[in-house]
């Protein structure tokens, strides 16, 4: 009997398994609708692993892994779970006064990507650019990090250093930087100035709590000085406080005009944001400058004024950060930062640039180097959907804001670009040596003439300083890199001598997008003439657009 029982046993067990399996297959049809079954299933898996897995595993680790996997499966770099410490860091950072390096970052394609450095911060002064990938911090690889993890490491006591390695498109080797943390006080308008006697130039570096007030004060002052038109420079502006984006757009739009709207799964996440006040600068021609570093709130302002035919947008396609994050308090002090909606322009263009595949990245796009060493993405707008503005002009959608006039910075030739890449292999060392040489130059030069122009002997002294600092420079590299090095040193001397405004004035002649804006605004044309000059004439403005 015993042998007989043992031979029948497996058959019976198999039959039961098949019967049970068939029952579960039938039940499985409805499991997606049964939250209880799904949550119970998770609990059972955790129980079995924690009690029977070959190696000991803490239940808390299993739950953390389950949550992490669930969030990662959303394929959204802006959704994350913040523990108590991470939440405190996030809160302090967004309140606008903290110790750090001043970089706006997101996590994309397994690495931390710089959206843009904030003006006047350690990150900007060191020469970190929009699109740079942070691949290492303090000797730790950042592969797989969330942006919150990076923030926790990059933030710290002012005066302490963060060792950062950067991967930049177009460069074969990673770049090392030493960033000395500082108290980051977000400011919006570092300066404002009059160009060509009647064009008011306003560089808006970020959107902080005072941005609208600062832009308005700058515009009013420039109008009193004789400005008959404006250039609003949003290049490198990574965004910031939402209501300030609404406030800045409101300065140039009639009361009630739609500025932006949000769309999400929940009705509570759907909303329309309209200009709350009367148009302050009615009829004043406006050009907006944007680039790859313009993101989030910058895209809301540029997109709304472009859709309403209120401004001509010049530059390069923007970053495409158009999602809305909501914060939810959870058990144990945790906070869920969840993407709940996307931003749309008044004409319905989604600002969010969706990555179709890992190849759809900055690194996969052809790039060149500008005269000031920034990478320039050569935009490919083929295949983007089209819509019409309220004035009948053709605009491109597909994520981010595509300018009316694609105007890229002047770029380096092949030989000079190769030499600059050689310098950038030790970018942090070069940045420090450039600062030191600029300070030394000013200490031994009484009342330098502006714009700054250095001679060959001064440039040779600068190259010697680089060599002493450990930068490898052969004669061919020196010769090819000389024009770039001269411009960089002159710009740094201007910065140390007179701040952001003097550095800006030093480079106006070499700023191709700005030169194009000044050409369009010459003689302060009426709005219709401005768009005609830009090659995008209005086809009949409709009154009461999007109200």
Asked if 349 and 391 count as a contact pair (C-beta separation under 8 A), the reply is: no
In a domain, residue 74? The reply is: no
- Do 324 and 358 lie in one domain? The reply is yes
**How many other C-beta atoms are found inside a 10 Å radius of the C-beta of residue 506?**
22
Residue 283: its pLDDT value, please?
Answer: 93
**Cβ count within 10 A of residue 89:** 20
Which residues 6+ apart lie within 8 Å of 458 measured at CB?
441, 489
374: left (phi over 0), alpha (psi -120 to 50) or beta: beta
Asked whether residue 84 falls in the same domain as residue 211, the answer is no
Count of domains observed in the chain: 3
Residue where one domain finishes, among candidates 165, 185, 205: 185
Tokens of 269: 């996440």
Q: Does the residue 20 lie in any domain? A: no
Rounded distance between C-alpha atoms, residue 155 and residue 458, angstroms = 38
Residue 1 lies in a domain: no
348, 404: one domain: yes
In a domain, 221, yes or no: yes
175 and 202, same domain (yes or no): no
Residues 6+ apart with CB under 8 A from 268: none
Pair (170, 282) in one structural domain: no
SS3 content of the chain, % helix, strand, coil (to 5): 40, 20, 40
| Residues 529 and 501 placed together within one structural domain of the fold | no
- Active-site residue, 321 included: yes
For residue 124, give the CATH number of its domain.
Answer: 2.30.42.10
Whether 35 is covered by a domain: the verdict is: no
Question: Smallest Cα–Cα separation from 302: which of 346, 254, 255, 269?
Answer: 346
Bridge partners of 111, per DSSP, are 108
Extended beta strands in 224-279, E state = 229-233, 258-264, 271-274
Please answer whether residues 293 and 400 qualify as being in contact, where contact means their C-beta atoms are separated by less than 8 angstroms.
no
Same domain, 300 and 324: yes
pLDDT for residue 356: 53
Q: 239, exposed or middle or buried, with CB in 10 Å at 0-12, 13-18, 19+?
A: buried
Crossing angle for the helix pair 414-424 and 427-443, nearest 10 degrees? Answer: 90
- Whole-angstrom CA distances from 405 to 385, 390, 532 are 17, 18, 12
| pTM of the complete model | 0.77
Give the active site residue among 250, 307, 309, 404: 307
Q: What is the C-alpha to C-alpha distance for residues 162 and 398, in angstroms, rounded to an integer?
A: 37
Q: Is the peptide bond before 451 cis (omega within 30 degrees of 0)?
A: yes
CA-based nearest residue to 376, from 384, 366, 386? 366
* Judgement on whether residues 279 and 369 belong to the same structural domain of the protein: yes
Active site residue 196: no
Cα–Cα distance for residue pair 509/59, rounded to 1 Å: 63
199 and 176 belong to one structural domain: no
Same domain, residue pair 320 and 390: yes
Same domain for 135 and 234: no
> How many other C-beta atoms lie within 10 A of the C-beta of residue 528?
13
What's the pLDDT at 295? 94
Tokens representing 18?
A: 């098949």
Catalytic residue among 321, 350, 404, 431: 321
Contacts 24+ apart (CB under 8 A), 324-329: 324/262, 324/264, 324/269, 325/78, 325/79, 326/269
Tell me whether residue 320 is in a domain. yes
CATH number of the structural domain spanning residue 333? 3.90.226.10
Task: Among 162, 185, 208, identify where a domain stops.
Answer: 185
The per-residue pLDDT string of the chain (547 residues; one tens digit each, 9 = 90 and over) reads 444 444 444 444 443 343 444 444 444 445 455 777 888 888 999 999 999 999 999 998 998 899 989 998 998 888 888 887 777 766 655 555 568 898 888 777 778 888 778 777 898 888 887 778 999 999 999 998 888 788 888 988 888 999 999 988 767 789 899 999 998 776 799 999 999 999 999 999 999 889 999 999 999 999 999 999 999 999 999 998 889 999 999 999 999 999 999 999 988 889 999 999 999 999 999 999 999 999 999 999 999 999 999 999 999 999 999 998 888 999 888 899 899 999 999 999 999 987 654 444 443 345 688 888 777 877 878 899 999 999 999 999 999 999 999 999 999 999 999 999 888 888 888 988 998 899 889 888 887 889 999 999 999 999 999 999 999 899 999 999 999 999 999 999 998 888 889 999 999 999 999 999 999 999 878 999 999 999 999 985 444 455 4
Buried-state track 257-292, b at ≥16 Cβ within 10 A, e below 16:
bbbbbbebeeeeeeeebbbeeebebeebbbbbbbbb
Domain boundary among 185, 215, 241: 185
CA–CA distance, 142 with 129 (Å, rounded to integer): 18
Q: Is residue 220 part of a domain?
A: yes
Domain that holds residue 478: 414-510
Question: Does some domain include residue 17?
Answer: no
- Residue 366: per-residue pLDDT: 55
How many angstroms separate the CA atoms of 122 and 154, rounded?
A: 11
Q: How far apart are CA 497 and CA 491, in angstroms?
A: 10
Active-site residue identified among 296, 323, 350, 389: 296
Give the whole-angstrom CA distance, residue 145 versus residue 117: 19
Whether residue 165 lies in the annotated active site: no
Among the residues of 369-474, which ranges form H helices? 414-424, 427-443, 456-468
Same domain, 103 and 235: no
What per-residue confidence (pLDDT) applies to 91? 67
């Amino acid at each position: 009997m015993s042998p007989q029982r043992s031979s029948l046993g497996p058959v019976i067990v198999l039959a039961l398994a098949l019967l049970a399996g068939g029952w579960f297959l039938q039940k499985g049809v409805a499991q997606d609708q049964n939250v209880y079954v799904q949550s119970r299933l998770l609990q059972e898996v955790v129980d079995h692993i924690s009690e029977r897995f070959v190696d000991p595993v803490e239940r808390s680790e299993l739950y953390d892994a389950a949550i992490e996997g669930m969030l990662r499966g959303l394929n959204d770099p802006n959704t994350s779970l913040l523990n108590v410490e991470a939440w405190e860091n996030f809160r302090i950072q967004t309140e606008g006064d903290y110790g750090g390096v001043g970089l706006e970052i997101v996590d994309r394609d397994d690495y931390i990507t710089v959206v843009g450095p904030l003006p006047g911060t350690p990150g900007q002064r060191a020469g970190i650019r929009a699109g740079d990938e942070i691949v290492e911090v303090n000797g730790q690889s950042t592969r797989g990090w969330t942006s919150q993890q990076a923030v926790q490491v990059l933030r710290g006591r002012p005066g302490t250093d963060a060792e950062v390695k950067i991967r930049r498109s177009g460069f074969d080797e990673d770049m090392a930087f030493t960033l000395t943390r500082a108290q980051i006080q977000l400011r919006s308008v570092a300066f404002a100035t009059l160009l060509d006697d009647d064009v008011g130039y306003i560089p808006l570096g970020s959107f902080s709590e005072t941005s609208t007030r600062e832009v308005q004060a700058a515009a009013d002052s420039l109008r009193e000085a004789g400005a008959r038109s404006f250039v609003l420079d949003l290049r490198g502006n990574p965004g910031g406080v939402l209501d300030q984006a609404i406030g800045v757009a409101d300065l140039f739009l009639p009361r009630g005009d739609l500025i932006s709207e949000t769309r999400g799964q929940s009705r509570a996440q759907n909303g329309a944001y309209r200009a709350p006040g009367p148009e302050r600068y009615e009829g004043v021609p406006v050009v907006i400058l944007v680039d790859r570093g313009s993101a989030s709130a910058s895209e809301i302002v540029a997109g709304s004024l472009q859709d309403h035919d209120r401004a001509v947008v010049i530059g390069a396609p923007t970053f495409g950060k158009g999602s809305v994050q909501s914060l939810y308090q959870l058990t144990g002090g945790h906070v869920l930062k969840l993407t709940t909606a996307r931003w749309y322009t008044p004409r319905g263009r989604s600002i969010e640039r969706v990555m179709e595949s890992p190849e759809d990245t900055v690194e996969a796009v052809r790039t060149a180097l500008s005269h000031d060493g920034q990478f320039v993405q050569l935009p490919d707008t083929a295949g983007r959907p089209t819509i019409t503005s309220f004035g009948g002009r053709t605009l491109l959608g597909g994520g981010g804001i595509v300018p009316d006039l694609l105007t890229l910075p002047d770029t380096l030739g092949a030989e000079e670009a190769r030499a600059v890449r050689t310098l950038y292999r030790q970018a942090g060392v070069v940045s420090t040596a450039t600062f030191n040489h600029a300070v030394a130059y000013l200490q031994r030069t009484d009342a330098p003439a502006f714009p700054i122009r250095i001679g060959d002997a001064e440039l040779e002294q600068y190259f010697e300083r680089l060599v002493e600092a450990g930068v490898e420079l052969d004669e061919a590299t020196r010769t090819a890199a000389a024009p770039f090095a001269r411009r960089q040193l002159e710009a740094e001397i201007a910065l140390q001598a007179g701040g952001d405004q003097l550095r800006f004035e030093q480079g106006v002649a070499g700023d191709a997008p700005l030169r194009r804006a000044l050409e369009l605004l010459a003689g302060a044309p009426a709005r219709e003439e401005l768009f005609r000059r830009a090659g995008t004439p209005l086809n009949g403005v409709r009154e009461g657009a999007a109200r």
